[in-house]
Amino acid sequence: MAGLRREPTARQMRLGTELRRLREKAGLSGREAAALLGVSSGQISQIEFAQTGVSEKRLRSMAANYSCSDEKLIAALVQVATDRTRGWWEDYREQLPTPFLDLAELEHNAAFRWDVDLLHVSGLLQTEDYARALFSTRIPELPHAERELRVQHRMQRRVVLDGATPTPYQAVIHEAALRIRVGGRATSRAQLAHILEFSEADHITVRVIPFTLERFDDTGSAMIYAGGDIPELDTVVRDAPHGTVFIDSEAQLCVFRTLFRRVEASSLDPEQTRDLIHNLAKEL
């Protein structure tokens, strides 16, 4: 038997969580599920906590014993379970914090992506100098090598926008984020030009929430919404005082879908957005 995983990825943990939810929905304890499958309760626990993988055959057997007839969900879970892709982000393992790698993997597998940012430009839209200036503000200060590694990683993440099969992307950014001069005048001007260039792509939509807006539905803080192969596997990513949080409960996902639509409705349309950004660039 293969050894247990030392540090499961967020994607592997999500698979285990979904299998646990199916079991609990069926009203089965771990011991009862194990008896039905002819395995030990410890094996069920290891699968649900992503300490070990699960084959397609066993996953389908679990779904059948849990009375799950949702073929789209089962197929999506099989895809996660059998995916052996070694993404570019693995080159950063043990060099950068795990959430950096988990976010890159989430983006790689996302069917679509929505961002809301209030104080900084969305990470996928940042220039190298802008990202470097942001990482330079960390307290305590990052060592030069680690800072550059983070900048490099952030730039590589852009492959989901400008690669061979780009991900449909929407970014809603508050005007405050565009006016804050991160890295100085030249860096800010280049950043605005970069956003304008990306906003011309067919698969990218950029909207700005202007200061002149009389009514603004605040999300509370920045958020990333990554669409899964099916809505049940969507994920929201938010920064919290204790680190990056991946949110995947259906009730919370429903709240964030509604929040995004409200913020989107409160923003300028893409053409008005480009006009505003052009005017901001002229002011610099």
> Is residue 189 very low, low, confident or very high in pLDDT (cuts 50, 70, 90)?
very high
Q: What is the pLDDT of residue 1?
A: 42
Residues pairing with 225 in the sheet: 114, 236
As a whole number of angstroms, the distance between CA 172 and CA 223 comes to 10
Instruction: Examine the pLDDT at 79 and tell me if it is beyond 90.
Output: yes
Mean pLDDT, the chain, integer: 94
- Evaluate if residue 43 carries a pLDDT over 80: yes
Strand (E) or helix (H) holding 12: helix 10-25
Q: What is the pLDDT of residue 2?
A: 52
Tell me the pLDDT tens digit for each residue of 101-156.
999 999 999 999 999 999 999 999 999 999 999 999 988 899 999 999 999 999 99
Q: Write the CB contacts of 109 (distance below 8 Å, at least 6 apart in sequence).
A: 11, 83, 226, 228
Mean pLDDT of 42-69: 96
Structural fold of domain 10-82 = 434 Repressor (Amino-terminal Domain) (1.10.260)
Structural contact between residues 110 and 143, judged by C-beta atoms closer than 8 angstroms: no
Please tell me which residue, 215 or 9, carries the higher pLDDT value. Answer: 9
Mean pLDDT, rounded, for 223-241: 93
Q: What is the pLDDT of residue 219?
A: 61
Residue 65 CB neighbour total at 10 angstroms: 17
Nearest to 181 by CA among 236, 119, 243: 119
Yes or no: domain 97-283 corresponds to CATH 3.90.226 = no
Which residues of the chain does CATH 3.30.870 include?
Answer: 97-283
Peptide bond into 140 cis (omega under 30): yes
Listed in order, the ranges of the chain carrying CATH 1.10.260.40 are 10-82
- pLDDT for residue 222: 87
pLDDT of residue 85: 87
pTM for this model (two decimals): 0.93
pLDDT at 216: 64
What is the C-alpha to C-alpha distance for residues 88 and 73, in angstroms, rounded to an integer? 27
pLDDT of residue 7: 86
